[in-house]
Amino acid sequence: SSKSMRTDRNTYVGNRFVHVKNPHLDSMDEDILYHLDLGTKTHNLPAMFGDVKFVCVGGSPNRMKAFALFIHKELDLEGNEEAIQDICAGSDRYCMFKTGAVLSISHGMGIPSISIMLHELIKLLYHAKCCDVTIIRIGTSGGIGIEPGSVVITDTAVDSFFKPQFEQIILDTVVTRSTELDKELAQELFNCSKEIPGFPTLIGHTMCTYDFYEGQGRLDGALCSFSNEKKLDYLQRAYEAGIRNIEMESTVFAAMCGLCGLRAAVVCVTLLNRLECDQINLPHEVLLEYQQRPQHLISIFIKKHLGQH
């Protein structure tokens, strides 16, 4: 927006509104955010969401509800937990919880699922006139050459060819978009991690794929046409290219948030070391504890920003 002042590539000072890059939107009399079960005529979006400063997204609905309850407790917010209800209850696709300035939303698995949610979420933040919003994906991933349970903060999201780009097919053309993330935000999150003992956190590249099995070089899918040697050669080359984890949403997340003026970060825990295995065989309690690690880190970051730390 014209009110924001650009100081360098990734830093803006002042009021930075979330923006959309679609000339058709302003001429629409009503905008229905179908998969969120919200709309500009049915809901007062500025009143409901105008104060949002932190948006956290993650794959699973239950985990994002748990995150909202956790943040509510950590921030010592008013009102009881029962008041935190799914804002998108009318839709079966995604769930959304709000506590104070923090919005927590699920995005399902994979690029198509998160991209539909992001189109509607970004329009929601735009209609609500939100400014200075930071968005963080907290998720799970497969690690490469690092200890399971490590948390990876993404500096660059790359595709299956290790390229820092996302290819969106629009009509019948391929449009290539940058997947660069906010380096300062990544560093700030890394600094917060130093306050949490008990698990390693590192900054590295994250590879985003279209599939969990063949697309991530797994030998245990319903289909597999390559050898263990080919798998290890690919993952080793990924490691050498600076990739430390693999997941399924980061490239489109980085591309869309970057284009719409959202300061964005990706923070994922690794559930296994892909140089050692393909299957996730962690006990349930260990899995739950690992999934809390990115949440813990983000809560420290948010508390710092709200002056509560």
String marking each residue 268-287 x if it binds ligand URA according to CB under 6 A = ---x----------------
Nearest-angstrom CA–CA distance, 216 and 136: 23
Which candidate, 137, 104, 114, places its Cα nearest to that of 268? 137
Query: Helix or strand or coil: residue 31?
Result: coil
Helix spans in the chain (H): 45-49, 61-74, 111-127, 183-193, 228-240, 250-259, 284-305
DSSP output for 211-233: -SSGGGT-SSSS---S-HHHHHH
168, 255 Cβ separation under 8 angstroms = yes
Rule CB under 6 A: is residue 248 a binding residue for ligand URA? yes
Q: Is 58 annotated as a binding residue?
A: no
Q: Is 138 annotated as a binding residue?
A: yes
Residue 295's binding partner among ligand R2B, ligand URA, none (Cβ under 5 to 8 angstroms by kind) is none
Q: Is 216 annotated as a binding residue?
A: yes
Q: Is 139 annotated as a binding residue?
A: yes
Rule CB under 6 A: is residue 256 a binding residue for ligand URA? no
Per the structure block, which two tokens stand in for 273?
């070391």
Using CB under 6 A, pick the residue from 35, 55, 59, 244 that binds ligand R2B.
59
Long-range contacts of 113-116 (CB under 8 A, 24+ apart): 113/249, 114/57, 114/249, 114/252, 114/253, 115/252, 115/256, 116/35
Residue 59's binding partner among ligand URA, ligand R2B, none (Cβ under 5 to 8 angstroms by kind) is ligand R2B
Using CB under 6 A, pick the residue from 38, 56, 125, 248 that binds ligand R2B.
248
Using CB under 6 A, pick the residue from 99, 104, 134, 140 that binds ligand URA.
140
Q: Exposure of 62 by Cβ count < 10 A (0-12 exposed, 13-18 middle, 19+ buried)?
A: exposed
Task: Indicate the residue among 47 and 222 with the shorter CB distance to ligand URA.
Answer: 222
Rule CB under 6 A: is residue 282 a binding residue for ligand R2B? no
- Scan residues 130-169 and list those touching ligand R2B (CB under 6 A): 139-141
String marking each residue 190-219 x if it binds ligand URA according to CB under 6 A = ----------------------x---x---
- Residue 190's CB is within 10 A of a number of other CB atoms, namely 17
Residue 12's binding partner among ligand URA, ligand R2B, none (Cβ under 5 to 8 angstroms by kind) is none
Question: CA-CA-CA-CA torsion for 81, 64, 77, 85, nearest 10 degrees?
Answer: -40
Task: Show binding-site residues for substrate.
Answer: 216, 218
Binding site members for phosphate:
93, 137-140
Q: Point out which residues bind ligand R2B (CB under 6 A).
A: 59, 109, 139-141, 212, 247-249
